């Protein structure tokens, strides 16, 4: 089941809220002692997560859960550790599991001891999921996702961004579990930040996306992320201020990935790194502090000099005025 983005973080009457985890969405089922662990796209994840596979004996037979695989490291959710699990050879899975143990955070129950629960309302599925954890005394690698109907608790969860919590998922209490249907809702916290345009995709006269950077403490421009596709109006406004790179650009010879976890590269054009823009980004970061998801262009900051932009890895706390925006 999927979720549609919403702009309002308030918990609607008749709905429950759950934290939105920065992890890897997965479905797990146990049948006759055999565990199946698959990503939303159908990738077989079991060989890469022996730590989760080893916990299958705790679940009753013919049971299936929907949830998120997460790794907790140094006080925050570490998505990059999950990514490295998938990138490394399967022979290394046991060592990586010992180094970066994963948990399966269960947030919905699809089958219980052979009974299809997808037609049950959420409130009944949730109660059965809680009973499953209690009666079978489920322990690591299994974890139960919190759920609440209290608006104050939802507001508190929205302050958990420092540990990598992305936002809130809302589920209607009387709603069934409908695969591939966007009946759930999701609110993702966005933070406003300044960055320097170091390159673009598309043409200088009509930029399509921006490749953004910040100077590190040694004065070198580091790549921090890229933008979503620009509107025509934004592209025209930016085109008037962009200039092709001259001399030696700090990103000369670099290649830029089209997305997290893909080998596809972008056809980028380097520009003179003297234009500052304001963008909205979510809380997902890699281990170096780069923005893992595309940022939404907000406005041009022509009044700012690039040296005034926070240093790479700095300035990633929410602004003091609480200037947060919904995820597009």
CATH of the domain at 82: 3.30.470.30
Same domain, 221 and 296: yes
Q: Are 317 and 221 found together in one domain?
A: yes
pLDDT at 319: 34
Instruction: Note whether 206 and 119 are same-domain residues.
Output: no
Q: Residues 139, 197: one domain? A: no
Q: Provide the pLDDT for residue 16.
A: 98
**Main-chain dihedrals φ then ψ at residue 54, nearest 5 degrees:** -70, -15
Using alpha carbons only, give the angle 187, 191, 197 rounded to the nearest 5 degrees.
125
pLDDT in tens, the chain (328 residues): 999 999 899 999 999 999 999 899 999 999 988 999 999 888 899 999 999 999 999 999 999 999 999 999 888 888 878 877 776 666 688 888 888 899 999 999 999 999 999 999 999 999 999 999 999 999 999 999 999 999 999 999 998 888 888 899 999 999 999 999 999 999 998 888 999 999 999 999 999 999 999 999 999 999 999 999 999 999 999 999 999 998 889 999 998 887 765 667 889 999 999 999 999 988 787 767 788 889 999 999 988 999 999 999 775 543 333 333 333 2
Same-domain status, 98 and 206: no
- Whether 168 maps to a domain, the answer reads no
**Could you give phi then psi for residue 64, rounded to 5 degrees?**
-135, 140
Which helix (H) or strand (E) segment holds residue 39: the answer is strand 34-39
Looking at 133, 150, 167, which one is the last position of a domain? 150
For residue 149, the model assigns a pLDDT of 98
Q: Are residues 48 and 104 in the same domain?
A: yes
pLDDT at residue 161, rounded to an integer: 83
258 and 315 fall within a common domain: yes
Assigned domain for 263 exists:
yes
Query: Using CB atoms within 10 A of its CB, is residue 188 exposed (0-12), middle (13-18) or buried (19+)?
Result: buried
> What local confidence, expressed as pLDDT, does residue 260 receive?
60
pLDDT at 320: 32
Helix, strand, coil percentages for the chain (3-state, nearest 5): 20, 35, 45
The confidence score (pLDDT) of residue 87 equals: 66
Q: Say whether 41 sits in a helix, a strand or coil.
A: coil
For residue 123, being part of any structural domain is answered with: yes
Q: Is residue 122 part of a domain?
A: yes
Indicate whether 316 belongs to any domain: yes
pTM: 0.74
CATH number, domain of 278, equals 2.40.50.140
Residue 318: the pLDDT is: 36
pLDDT at 328: 29
For position 325, what pLDDT does the model report?
32
Largest CA distance in the chain: 68
- 230 in a structural domain: yes
Q: Is residue 129 one of the residues assigned to a domain?
A: yes
Report strand pairing: 182-188 vs 2-5.
Answer: parallel
Do residue 102 and residue 29 come from a single domain? yes
Per the structure, the count of domains in the chain is 2
Tokens for 271, please give them.
């520009």
Same domain, 250 and 128: no
Full residue range of the structural domain in which residue 273 is found: 190-325
Residue 309 lies in a domain: yes
């Amino acid at each position: 089941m999927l979720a549609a983005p919403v702009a309002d973080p308030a918990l609607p009457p008749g709905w429950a809220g759950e934290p939105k985890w920065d992890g890897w969405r997965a479905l797990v089922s146990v049948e006759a002692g055999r565990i199946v662990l698959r990503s939303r796209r159908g990738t077989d994840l079991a060989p890469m997560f022996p730590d989760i596979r080893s916990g299958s004996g705790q679940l009753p037979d013919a049971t299936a859960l929907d949830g998120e695989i997460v790794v907790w490291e140094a006080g925050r959710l570490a998505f990059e550790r999950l990514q490295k699990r998938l990138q490394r050879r399967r022979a290394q899975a046991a060592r990586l599991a010992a180094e970066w143990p994963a948990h399966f955070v269960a947030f919905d129950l699809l089958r219980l001891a052979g009974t299809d629960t997808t037609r049950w309302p959420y409130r009944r599925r949730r109660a059965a999921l809680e009973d499953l954890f209690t009666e079978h005394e489920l322990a690591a690698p299994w974890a139960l996702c919190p759920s609440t109907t209290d608006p104050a608790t939802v507001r508190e969860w929205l302050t958990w961004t420092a540990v990598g919590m992305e936002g809130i998922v809302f589920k209607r209490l009387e709603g069934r579990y409908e695969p591939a249907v966007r009946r759930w809702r999701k609110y993702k916290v966005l933070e406003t930040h300044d960055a320097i345009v170091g390159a673009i995709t598309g043409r200088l006269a009509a930029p399509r996306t921006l490749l953004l950077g910040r100077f590190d403490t040694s004065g070198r421009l580091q790549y921090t992320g890229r933008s979503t596709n620009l509107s025509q109006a934004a592209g025209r406004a930016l085109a008037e201020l962009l200039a092709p790179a001259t001399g030696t650009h700090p990103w000369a010879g670099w290649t830029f990935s089209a997305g997290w976890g893909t080998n596809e590269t972008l056809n980028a054009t380097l520009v003179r790194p003297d234009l500052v823009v304001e963008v909205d980004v979510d809380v997902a970061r890699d281990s170096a502090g780069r923005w893992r998801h595309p940022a939404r262009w907000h406005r041009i900051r022509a009044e700012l000099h690039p040296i005034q932009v926070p240093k790479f890895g700095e300035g990633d706390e929410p602004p003091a005025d609480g200037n947060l925006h919904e995820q597009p």
